[in-house]
């Protein structure tokens, strides 16, 4: 990731004085016999993309418009090289109209003029159809730069066989972090090699233990880490305390048992948190499980967070009008229902018809419901967020998740040290 940041910085420095050739851009005009090139890291043969292509081309068949999906390997490095090259050349010989982008990369691309702001295209009606946390995740500096390809929310998975084996009651939907703690300690008291919870140490899944206690990762406006604020400290201490008491697996224990999903499926961890992809993993492994919302934290209300994969329009598109029509369809109710049904993720549109998809596996409703919790927040993003994430993961692992024997005072001292380092990375340090 550090290499990617250096590559992006180099190319953006080169392109700052060179504008893209916009003479070919037809603005609001929808031309006939058009081809729109869509770049992504997905296989063009994926059911979701073939379904979107068929639906879009049918809707605009009077224009004889064709969607062409282009799969790119080493996606971000390759796309930045292509887009920077187009700027340097004053235009692109390669037609790049639409591109896929994860929401945590939006600030990096938007801050350097690589993708177009979409405010001239989006309407209030369009924005009001989105789930609130999804809508929030599309902005950079008060401008819309992306639309949702799909959304991930977080819930808790519980291993039914382990709960039954040790006669521990499975909690209801309104359980709290205190209930979670008590369950973990009940499993810690068992004589067998079993824990209450195992977790993925990447920033996205760890984030739940921050906002459940009122904490945040950072302030994206000031580019300051907020690891040393009361809510964040409380979340770190909560998780660390349970690791020390054997209620939660340490990082090394999780690794020893094949990772957090394998620990859950193998009967070592009674609970894990994650999105639908995590459910698919444990389901395919044959685990007997149920899903619950995340435990209620200090806010007193159900909450989760959303991570988006997005569609964007490169600044060098030759036809922003058709590019927007693609985004509008892909991210609207019809396109989102197609993508969801094909297993690409949850819809960002609140009116997408996915009832038949939910009915196939009722636990899906928990993830959909999490989209509309009043307390659900978007995953935080920052211009140097990708660089920050790499260091956050490493620093938290070495200082907390695999550092036994720390006192409360030790934790606070380490938090201050780590917080200062993370602020440095958020300000562009490497």
How many angstroms separate the Cα of 318 from the Cα of each of 44, 53, 63, 64, 94?
22, 20, 17, 17, 10
Answer yes or no: pTM beyond 0.85: yes
Q: 3-17, 41-55, 341-355, 392-406: which has the minimum mean pLDDT? A: 3-17
Q: Please give the helix or strand (H or E) that residue 205 lies within, else none.
A: helix 203-206
CA 309-65-67 angle, 5° bins: 35
For residue 45, what pLDDT band results from cuts at 50, 70 and 90? Answer: very high
Q: Please give the helix or strand (H or E) that residue 82 lies within, else none.
A: helix 75-89
Options 3.40.470.10, 3.40.190.10, 3.50.50.60, 3.90.1640.30; which CATH number does 155-304+381-426 get? 3.40.190.10
Cα separation, 27 vs 143, in Å, equals 19
How many angstroms separate the Cα of 87 from the Cα of each of 11, 105, 184?
10, 19, 55
Cα separation, 321 vs 147, in Å, equals 15
Q: What is the mean pLDDT of residues 74-86?
A: 84
Pairwise pLDDT comparison (254 vs 82), residue with the higher score = 254
Cα separation, 259 vs 266, in Å, equals 10
| pLDDT at position 89 over 70 | no
Start-end of CATH 3.40.190.10 domains in the chain: 18-150+307-378, 155-304+381-426
For residue 430, what pLDDT band results from cuts at 50, 70 and 90? Answer: confident
Task: Give the residue among 78, 74, 104 at the shortest CA–CA distance from 426.
Answer: 104
Q: Phi first, then psi: give them for residue 99, nearest 5 degrees.
A: -140, 145
pLDDT single digits (tens) 143-159: 999 999 999 999 999 99
Angle between helices 230-244 and 177-188 in degrees, nearest 10: 20
Q: Phi first, then psi: give them for residue 192, nearest 5 degrees.
A: -85, 175
pLDDT computed for residue 84 by the predictor:
78
Tokens at 24, concatenated = 């070919």
Q: What is the mean pLDDT of residues 357-379?
A: 97
| pLDDT at position 15 over 50 | no
Q: Which homologous superfamily is 18-150+307-378 in? A: Periplasmic binding protein-like II (3.40.190.10)
Average pLDDT score, the chain: 92
Percent residues over pLDDT 90 in the chain = 82
């Amino acid at each position: 990731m550090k290499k990617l940041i250096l590559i992006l910085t180099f190319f953006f420095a080169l392109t700052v004085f060179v504008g893209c050739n916009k003479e070919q851009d037809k603005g609001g005009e929808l031309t006939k016999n058009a081809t729109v090139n869509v770049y992504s890291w997905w296989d063009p043969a994926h059911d979701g993309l073939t379904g979107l292509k068929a639906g879009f081309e049918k809707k605009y068949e009077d224009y004889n418009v064709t969607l062409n999906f282009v799969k790119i390997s080493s996606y971000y490095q390759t796309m930045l090289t292509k887009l920077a090259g187009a700027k340097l050349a004053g235009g692109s010989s390669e037609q790049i109209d639409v591109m896929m982008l994860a929401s945590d990369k939006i600030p990096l691309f938007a801050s350097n003029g690589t993708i177009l702001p979409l405010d001239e295209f989006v309407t209030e009606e369009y924005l009001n159809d989105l789930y609130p946390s999804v809508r929030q995740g599309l902005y950079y500096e008060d401008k819309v730069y992306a639309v949702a390809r799909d959304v991930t929310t977080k819930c808790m998975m519980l291993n039914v066989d382990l709960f039954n084996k040790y006669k521990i009651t499975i909690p209801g939907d309104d359980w709290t972090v205190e209930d979670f703690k008590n369950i973990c300690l009940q499993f810690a008291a068992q004589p067998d090699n079993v824990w209450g919870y195992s977790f993925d140490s990447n920033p996205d899944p760890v984030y739940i233990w921050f906002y459940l206690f009122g904490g945040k990762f950072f302030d994206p406006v000031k580019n300051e880490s907020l690891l040393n604020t009361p809510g964040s400290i409380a979340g770190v201490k909560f998780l660390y305390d349970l690791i020390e008491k054997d209620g939660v697996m340490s990082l090394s224990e999780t690794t020893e048992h094949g990772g957090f999903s394998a620990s859950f499926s193998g009967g070592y961890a009674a609970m894990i948190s994650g999105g639908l992809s995590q459910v698919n993993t444990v389901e395919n492994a044959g685990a007997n499980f149920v899903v619950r919302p995340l435990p209620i934290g200090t806010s007193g209300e159900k909450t989760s967070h959303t991570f988006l994969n997005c569609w964007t329009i490169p600044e060098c598109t030759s036809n922003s009008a058709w590019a927007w029509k693609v985004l509008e369809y892909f991210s609207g109710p019809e396109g989102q229902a197609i993508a969801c049904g094909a297993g690409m993720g949850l819809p960002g549109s609140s009116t997408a018809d996915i009832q038949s998809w939910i009915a196939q596996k009722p636990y899906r409703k928990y993830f959909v419901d999490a989209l509309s919790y009043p307390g659900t927040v978007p995953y935080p993003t920052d211009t140097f967020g990708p660089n920050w994430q790499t260091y956050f993961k490493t620093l938290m692992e070495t200082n907390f998740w695999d550092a036994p024997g720390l006192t409360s005072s030790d934790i606070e001292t380490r938090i201050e040290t780590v917080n200062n380092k993370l602020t440095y990375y958020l300000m562009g340090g490497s």
